[in-house]
Amino acid sequence: MITIHTSPSQYTPSNNCIKWCISQSDIGSGGIVKRMAYQLVLSDGTPITAVESIRTPQANDIVCFDFQADVRGLLSTIFPLVDTPAAQEDEYIIKGIKLKYWEVETDTLTCETIEGAKSFTDEVFVYRGVLQVYEENTTGARMLHHYPDNITMCRGARAFIWLLRAGYSGSLAVTYSWRDGVTEDVTINVPTGHDASVVPLHYQPFTGVNPTWLVVSIPAINKTITIEYKDCCCSSEDYMNIMYLDPMGGRGMMSFECADEFSLSTEGGEVCFYQECGQGTLGDGSDRYTRNGKSILGKTAKEVITMTREAAYSKEEMEYFKSFLASNEYHVQMSYEDNTNFRAFIVESGTAVYYDKEEAVEFIVKGYFAENYRTLR
């Protein structure tokens, strides 16, 4: 008999341990060898891993398997529609999995093998994300972000919140209010059929005015986010707002005070063309002066930007910035007339400078666009 000793939490992040521990009460004797066979499958039975088997040295020895490397590639985070005034489902960020297991008995004398009945563990839902060593895997509905309670954003930033139901069957409502005494509150009810949903964290889908404040309340997870909008120094929205993949799994947004520095960084190799002997005369129609000597080969150019963000110092704000720097995926919000697009971006470095007297912190980020500025070859 195979016993399951340890299973992952019912809702667990993909980049932390996804571990089952099992044991076998009878490993066989004499010419009979008994092994434990196992395979990780999706909830519908589709295989994720190949069938493996193991025999422990002694009966009832416990052996553990961690499947995080096998699951990570199954999950992704959608890029939401920008100005949709409703919850959008992210069906790709979460998958249900099970461990299938059974006994395999082999007679070493006859080489006959008999497989026992297949059993399955309880379903585990794995969502794309990772928890830090000081963070707990809570139960119930949750937000897949490190957003602080108070955020300053540049006007026009298209931000979002990823919500995970995690078995929560109650009302998952998101309410938007404006603090202007005029605009009526708006509420989005997340459908119960959505395991993971994306809702706006910006005002554009709901109102034509430009508010100074936006208060987003989610009672089910006891979270309220207050956004103060500022007219940042840029004349357009370019380079101010960066969407990033939060380690918890959702795509967060951080605003900066425009581009402090913009440069074009170029690289290329040199090649030296053959130079004929003798003297030539400039303008004699030969290629001596136009083609001979050194030339640039394989030149590439990338657009490099340095930008700054200032904020009141708090542990929440620092965690917000750490989650930004720990991301492996960034997109700069670009606006072309009435269209909002996002352009892939690479963050090279980031620093935080604390000013004690002002109790403020300055974040400085340097990076470049993922696609090179195109050169003629």
Q: What domains can you pick out in the chain, each with its CATH number?
A: 2-127 (2.60.40), 142-262+300-369 (no CATH)
The mean per-residue pLDDT over the stretch 322-348 comes to: 88
Cα–Cα distance, 350 to 156 (Å, whole number): 24
Q: Mean pLDDT over residues 1-7, rounded? A: 96
Strands 94-107 and 124-127 turn out to be antiparallel
Q: What is the pLDDT of residue 221?
A: 95
Of 289 and 317, more confident: 317
d(Cα 29, Cα 277) in Å, to the nearest integer? 89
Amino acid 237: pLDDT: 46
The rounded mean pLDDT for the chain is 89
Q: So what's the pLDDT on residue 41?
A: 98
- E strand or H helix that includes residue 353: strand 339-355
Residue 220 has pLDDT above 70, yes or no: yes
| CA–CA gap between residue 268 and residue 376 (Å, rounded) | 12
In this prediction, residue 248 carries a pLDDT of 97
Can you tell me the distance from the alpha carbon of 194 to that of 216, in angstroms, rounded to the nearest whole number? 20
Highest mean pLDDT, choosing among 13-17, 29-33, 108-112, 302-306: 13-17
Specify whether the CB–CB gap between 120 and 38 falls below 8 A.
no
Whether the CB-CB separation of 198 and 78 falls below 8 Å is answered with: yes
User: Do residues 135 and 249 make contact, with C-beta atoms less than 8 angstroms apart?
Assistant: no
Rounded CA gap, 54 and 360, in Å?
57
Pairing relationship of beta strands 223-230 and 150-154 according to DSSP bridges: parallel
Q: Inform me whether the pLDDT recorded for 8 exceeds 70.
A: yes
SS3 category, 68: helix
Average pLDDT over residues 207-218: 87
pLDDT of residue 268: 77
pLDDT band at 233, cuts 50/70/90? low
Please report which residue ranges of the chain form alpha helices under DSSP H: 68-71, 288-291, 315-325
Specify the long-range contacts of residues 68-71, CB closer than 8 Å, at least 24 apart.
Answer: 68/14, 68/15, 68/16, 68/17, 68/18, 70/40, 71/14, 71/18, 71/40, 71/95, 71/97, 71/126
pTM over 0.85: yes
